[in-house]
């Protein structure tokens, strides 16, 4: 029996229940017939043209992305802009698109666990637990597998996350020791307060000037700012492997690929002359 889009969505939603998503989010099947059969799945962070092109080359029938394609109100999907064009290409080639966003952020294991694992952060718990589901929530906080200086830890982050032009930015004394680490994949500056209370260092992305500055002058923990895409990419191979296991248990054979296309928007970085 061929595996269908609907069966794959059901397996994904067992691991990343839509009920865990934020109210403002738009998770789930974006396009694709639930009854269509799937022989190849592509996991990616962003539903952008480069990923759709990769799916066409890979002959994927389903793309699972972390970010939703359509998050805000949409009045047209005519192929006159990027999102409309992406949707037209997907539908005309019979490729389904499914998004697991804040439900994958909040789930255990989820996006934040994958980031913590790759950085060697152990014994984690949610940085901001969901009140009724204390094992789930935003970000993770735990203990580093060895005490490191902030400078050495930043080197580790740079080595273990996928390469981007953004690289790694650090706020704090590079010689201070860090052991308790908070992480949050994606935009994490809303959770600076929780990280300040619990961690020696906070790894996240999209930290804004004023929020970071206020956090630091108030004595908050050290900060490691990474590329948004790089902070969420480690979830892809974990989610792909989990789906593979679920399919094997059902006796289904589906090829699962993880995108290696860097979809971080920044394409050049120059440090200022010293
Ligand atoms: Zn994100």
Q: Calculate how far, in angstroms, residue 174's C-alpha sits from the geometric centre of ligand 1.
A: 27
Which of 71-75, 128-132, 215-219 shows the lowest per-residue confidence on average (mean pLDDT)? 71-75
How far does the centroid of ligand 1 lie from the alpha carbon of residue 186, in Å?
4
70 phi, psi to nearest 5 deg:
-120, 95
Residue of 111, 83, 81 lying closest to 97 (CA atoms): 83
Alpha-carbon span 127 to 82, nearest angstrom: 35
Summarize pLDDT for 77-99 with one digit per residue, the tens: 999 999 999 999 999 999 999 99
pLDDT tens sequence across 19-29: 999 999 999 99
The two structure tokens encoding residue 177: 């020791």
Q: Which domains does the chain have, with CATH numbers?
A: 3-104 (3.40.1390.30), 108-231 (3.40.1390.30)
CA of 160 from ligand 1 middle (Å) equals 18
Q: Is the peptide bond before 82 cis (omega within 30 degrees of 0)?
A: no
pLDDT at residue 61 in the model = 97
Checking if the pLDDT of 57 tops 90, the result is yes
CA of 253 to the centre of ligand 1 (A): 30
User: Which band of pLDDT confidence, cut at 50, 70 and 90, is reported for residue 236?
Assistant: very high
- Tell me how far the alpha carbon of residue 92 lies from the centroid of ligand 1, in angstroms: 27
- The span from the CA of 196 to the CA of 41, in Å, is 39
Percent of the chain with pLDDT over 90: 94
Tell me which H or E stretch contains 65. Answer: strand 62-65
pLDDT score for 274 = 83
DSSP secondary structure string, 75-127? S---TTSHHHHHHHHHHHTT-EEEE--HHHHHSSSSHHHHHHHHTTEEEEEEE
* Residue 67 CA, ligand 1 centroid: distance in Å: 6
Mean pLDDT of the region 154-174 = 97
């Amino acid at each position: 029996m061929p595996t269908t889009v609907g069966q794959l969505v059901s397996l994904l939603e067992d691991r990343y229940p839509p009920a865990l998503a934020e109210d403002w989010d738009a998770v789930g099947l974006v396009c694709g017939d639930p009854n269509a059969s799937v022989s190849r799945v592509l996991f990616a962070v962003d539903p952008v043209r480069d990923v759709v092109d990769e799916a066409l080359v890979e002959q994927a029938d389903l793309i699972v992305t972390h970010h939703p394609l359509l998050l805000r109100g949409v009045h047209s999907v005519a192929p006159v802009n990027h999102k409309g064009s992406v949707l037209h290409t997907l539908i005309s080639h019979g490729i389904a698109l499914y998004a697991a966003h804040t439900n994958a952020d909040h789930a255990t294991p989820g996006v934040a666990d994958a980031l913590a694992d790759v950085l060697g952060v152990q014994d984690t718990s949610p940085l901001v637990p969901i009140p009724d589901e204390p094992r789930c929530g935003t970000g993770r906080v735990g203990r580093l597998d060895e005490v490191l200086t902030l400078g050495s830890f930043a080197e580790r982050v740079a080595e273990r996350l996928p390469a981007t032009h953004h690289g790694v930015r650090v706020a704090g004394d590079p010689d201070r020791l860090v052991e308790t680490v908070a992480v949050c994949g994606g935009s994490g500056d809303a959770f600076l307060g929780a990280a300040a209370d619990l961690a020696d260092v906070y790894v996240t992305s999209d930290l804004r000037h004023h929020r970071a500055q206020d956090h630091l002058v108030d004595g908050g923990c050290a900060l490691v700012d990474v590329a948004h895409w790089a902070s969420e990419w480690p979830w892809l191979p974990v989610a792909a492997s989990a789906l593979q296991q679920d399919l094997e248990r059902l006796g289904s054979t589906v090829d699962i690929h993880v995108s290696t296309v860097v979809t971080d928007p920044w394409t050049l970085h120059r440090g200022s002359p010293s």
